[in-house]
Amino acid sequence: MRRGHVRFPARAKAPLYLLAGAGITALSLRSVPDPFPSSGDLSLSAAERIRLEVEGIVRSSRALYAITYVIADYKFSLWGLERRPVDHHNKLLEVHLRSAQRLLKLCETNKGFYVKAGQFVSSLRQVPKEYSSTFSTLQDKAVPCPFEDIKEVIARNLGKNFTDLFYSFDEKPIAAASIAQVHHALLRDRQEVAVKVQYPGLQQQLTVDLRTMAVLSSFVSQIFPDYRLEWMVSEFKRTLSSELDFLQEAKNAERTARNFKTKKIIKVPHVFWDLTTKQVLTMQFFHGQKIDDVEFLKDSGIDPGKVAKTLVELFSEMIFIHGFVHGDPHPGNILVSPDGYQGFSLIILDHGIYRELDEEFRTDYCRLWKALVLMDSPTIHEIGGRFGLGQYAKYLPVIFTGRTLESKSNLGKQMPAEEKRELRRELLALKMGDISSFMESMPPDFLTVLRTDGQLRSIMGRLGAPARVRLLSYARFAACGLSSKHRNENAYLFDQIISGITTRASYLHLRFLLEILELLSRLESLGHSILVKVKWLLPRMAHFTNLSRRTLLADAQMI
C-alpha cells in the first residue's frame, strides 16, 4: 500500500456526517451540562431553538468530519513507523501541518467559538509549532458585526436613546475579536471612550458549540485513547466563561489598576460603570500602538529593549507577587504610548481572561524559578512532583530555560549541538499518549503561567531582547515573592526590614550567578574570536617573515 495522507469521498459521506451531526447536537443540547450556568437566562423560544439546532447540526457535522479526517490521517500515515523514530518524526511533522491547515479551514468556516478555540491553541507552546503557527493567522480574522445589530445590543443593555448617551459614536469598529467588537465614541462631556459590545446571540451559539466540542472530544478519547483532549476543552471553557461577563472584566481591570497604582509607567483604562453591563463595557480610551511594532517604537525614539524589560517586569510582578495574572498578553492587548515620564508607558487592555493563582502554587512557582536559576535538580524534581508532573518534571528546565538538567551550557544560552541531538532522541521516543498524560497532569495554574510565559517570550523576541532580561526579572521577582513581606502585610516593622534584607540578599545571589555566567560566556566568545584571528594572522605573519628574510638576503648579496 502506498503511504500517503487519507482521502475521504466528501460527497458520499455528507449524509452520514449530517446525521451524526444532528445526533451530537441533540445530545449536546440535552445531556451535557450548561457550560455557562451563571451567565444569565438562556431560555429560547421554539423558533429560536429550531434555528439553533439546525445551525448546530451543520456546524457539528463540519467539526465531526474534520476531526475524523485528522485522526484517521494520523493513524494511517504513521502506521508501521513506530520502530523507526526518525521516519516517524518526519512523517509526524507532515501530518501536523496538514491537520493544522484542515482545522484552520474549519475554524474559518464555522467562525465564532471555533475562531476563539483556534486563537487559544495558537497561544499554547505545548502544542506542535505547526498548529500554533498555522492558527496564529486567526488573531486578526474576526468579521465585524453590522452596526444596527450592535446598536440594538447597546440599547437593550443601557436602556437609553443613543443620542442621550454619546455625543458621537464611530459606526466602524476599531477592533473586532471573536466574541465582541470595540467602537470609539465621545460621551456627552466629550470624554473619549472605547465601547466593547458583545455580539448578539453569541452566548447561545457558544453554549451549543462548547457542548458539541465536549461530546466530540469524549468520542475521540474513547476511540483513540492516546488522543485525549478533555484538558484543552476544560481549560478553554474556563477562560471563555470569564470572557463572556464584562462586569467581571471591569472588576479585573480595576483590581489590576490598584495592584500597579504606584507604577506610573503602567496604565489601565478607567471603567465607566454607569455604561457597563454583562454585554457592554465602556472604558477610558487610550492612544497607542501594539507593543511589537518596532518601527513605531524607533520612530518615536523609544528603546525596544526598555519596553521589553518593562513588560517582563510587569508580568513577573503579576505572577510571582500578586498571584493575579492577565491570561492573554498578545500584542493587541498591550499598547505602547509615547506619553510618560520615562518616555513611554504601557497600556494594558482586555482584562477578560485572568487567573488568580493558588497561594501554595504561587510559592512553589517562586521556588521553582530559584531552583531553575541555580540548577537545583532535587528541588526541581520535588516541585515537579507537587505539580503532579511526575517523571516529566525533568523537562521543566527545557521548557523554561532551554537547557536540560545535565546541561553544560550557560543559563540563557543555546544548548550545544550534542545536547540538542540527545534531547531530540529522547523526545522522539515519546508517544502521543505520553504527551496527553503530560498535559493532563498539569494543574490549571501551571498551564496559565506556561501559556503567559510563551506569549511574553514571543513578544520579547520580536523586540530583540536577550533571554537574560527575562531570566533576571523572573529571578528577582521569584526572590521577592518568597519574602514574607508580601504575604503578611501585618508583620512588625522589624520583621519587614529583616524580610526585605533577606529578599535582597537572595536576589543579589541569583543576579551574581547570572552575571558570572554572562561574563564567562563573553570571555568564551572573546577567546574564540581571538583564536580565530590568531589562526588567520599566523600564516600571514609567517609569509611576511619569509618574504622579509629573502629581501634581507638579496640586499646582503648586492652589498
Q: How far apart are CA 327 and CA 442, in angstroms?
A: 16
The helix/strand/coil state of 324 is strand
Same domain, 465 and 316: yes
**End residue of a domain, out of 444, 461, 485:** 485
Task: Considering the candidates 209, 245, 292, 328, report the single residue annotated as catalytic.
Answer: 328
Q: How far apart are CA 290 and CA 297, in angstroms?
A: 10
Nine cell digits for residue 513: 550567578
Same domain, 307 and 428: yes
- 524 within a domain of the structure (yes/no): no
- pTM of the model as a whole: 0.74
Same domain, 279 and 187: yes
- 174 within a domain of the structure (yes/no): yes
Mean pLDDT of 102-114: 85
Lowest mean pLDDT among 64-68, 209-213, 350-354, 364-368: 209-213
Residue 424 is part of which domain span? 292-485
Lowest mean pLDDT among 201-205, 368-372, 525-529: 525-529
* DSSP β-ladder status, 180-187 and 192-198: antiparallel
pLDDT band at residue 410 using 50, 70 and 90 as cut-offs: low
- Give me the residues paired with residue 166 across strands: 187
- 38 within a domain of the structure (yes/no): no
Lowest mean pLDDT among 58-72, 79-93, 264-278, 290-304: 79-93
CA distances from 94 to 103, 119, 536 (A): 14, 22, 44
The answer to whether residues 415 and 406 touch, using CB atoms and an 8 Å cutoff, is: no
Mean pLDDT of 69-97: 81
The larger pLDDT score, comparing residue 529 to residue 386, is at: 386
Residue 174: pLDDT over 90: yes
Mean pLDDT of 259-266: 94
- 510 within a domain of the structure (yes/no): no
Same domain, 328 and 422: yes
Cβ-Cβ contacts under 8 Å for 297 (sequence gap 6 or more): 289, 303, 304, 307, 336, 463
Same domain, 215 and 355: no
* Strand residue runs (E) in 135-204: 166-169, 175-176, 180-187, 192-198
Same domain, 369 and 390: yes
The answer to whether residues 310 and 320 touch, using CB atoms and an 8 Å cutoff, is: no
Residue 424: pLDDT over 70: yes
- 59 within a domain of the structure (yes/no): yes
Nine cell digits for residue 452: 503567559
- Please tell me the predicted confidence (pLDDT) of residue 502: 57
**End residue of a domain, out of 458, 485, 512:** 485
- 21 within a domain of the structure (yes/no): yes
Q: How far apart are CA 480 and CA 453, in angstroms?
A: 18
Handedness of CA 136, 314, 516, 502 (dihedral sign): negative
Write the CATH number for 263. Answer: 3.30.200
Nine cell digits for residue 170: 464611530
Same domain, 377 and 416: yes
CA distances from 163 to 131, 153, 166, 271 (A): 46, 15, 5, 20
* Strand residue runs (E) in 53-139: none
Report the 10 Å Cβ neighbour count for 130.
Answer: 18
Q: Which of 319, 344, 363, 336 is nearest to 470 (CA)?
A: 319
CA distances from 34 to 202, 233, 359, 416 (A): 14, 14, 29, 51
pLDDT above 70: percentage of residues in the chain: 69
Q: How far apart are CA 90 and CA 451, in angstroms?
A: 26
Number of domains the chain is built from: 3
Same domain, 347 and 437: yes
**End residue of a domain, out of 460, 485, 510:** 485
Residue 409: pLDDT over 70: no
Same domain, 74 and 190: no
> Does the annotation count 328 as an active-site position?
yes
Same domain, 332 and 471: yes
Cβ-Cβ contacts under 8 Å for 441 (sequence gap 6 or more): 387, 388, 389, 390, 392
Same domain, 20 and 89: yes
Same domain, 301 and 444: yes
Q: How far apart are CA 261 and CA 240, in angstroms?
A: 28
- 504 within a domain of the structure (yes/no): no
Q: H/E element holding 540?
A: helix 493-558
- 69 within a domain of the structure (yes/no): yes
Q: How far apart are CA 454 and CA 30, in angstroms?
A: 38
